[in-house]
Structure 1
Amino acid sequence: MSQKVLLSSKEINIILHRLACQLLENHIHFNNTALIGLQPRGIYVAQRLCAILKEEYGVGNVELGTLDITFFRDDFRRGQKPLEATRTNINFLVEDKKVVLIDDVLYTGRSINAALTALQSFGRPAEVELLCLIDRRFSRHLPIQPNYRGRQVDAIHGEKVKVMWEENDGEDLIYLVKN
């Protein structure tokens, strides 16, 4: 197994700032917009973006939530080991809001499909957008595309994108891992 660094910590930081600027451009004051990070690893992207928006651009009212999609996945009963749910924390109404779903890697689109289904439990948003840090564009099983993307990666079958976060893994790095 070999791995190649796709993005360094500095490059990830630059991309996150660009994505924050794109969100700011489209949502200005965030009065009716909520950011929702998908568990388990999209929450790190969402938290970082929220911090950048507040600290760098003075946006004070960004609503941030986390969404667990474990039991909404179409494959949750197919695995060999039992899945463990993580925590959903949406302490605001999504009804008639613009919601930005945030994940680290967009691969087949099945996680986003599950997230859209799970989100319906919290109301009917006015609009849903998708932001992903890494878009594996040649591996989609569903017709799902991001509104905001950090970097496109052309990974072939047998390659995996591994995202590491300082909060969880001790460093910010993104690898392309070949089996």
Structure 2
Amino acid sequence: MHDPLVTFEQLNEADFISLFSRIYEHSTWVAEALWQQVSQHPNGYFDQMSKIESAMKHIVEQSADEQKLILLRAHPDLAGKAALAGELTQASTSEQAGAGLDQCSEAELRHFLHLNDTYREKFGFPFIMAVKGATKEQVLAGFEERTPNDWQTEFDRAMSEVHKIAAFRLADL
């Protein structure tokens, strides 16, 4: 089934990279690698969103762990300092607002800041959860469930959540 809304092959390199650089948070390198694949495989290779999603996920998964860690660290804390300062990307702002994280009481906000700091201190990257369709309570439960994990388990879970976020963002294109 073809996506009738977009013909990505018709975009020039700059527009293509601009569009797809929003999918993986502050990680333009993923869109640049995708462009290289599009350039090598024109004529409908990316005629379905599922193919684009799969290709982008593969690009990320084939990258070195150090690059993946940079990608994880590019994500903002949930209900964190960047959100308070209005420094989130448009996608992150919308996703966090959808989970009600922009409506925290002062006590909830202090709790989130503490959880973010504790998590980041333990793992070296922010707590990442695909919050689209989630509630504040579910996000808090996620912190409680995942903070006891070991580093590798949480690294793998965070990468899985990053791919879920990317899939949501692609679906919104």
Q: Which has the larger share of helix?
A: 2
Larger radius of gyration between Structure 1 and Structure 2: 2
TM-score > 0.5, shorter chain as reference: no
Q: Which has the larger share of strand?
A: 1
TM-score interval for Structure 1 and Structure 2 normalised by the shorter chain: under 0.3
Normalising by structure 2, report the TM-score: 0.24
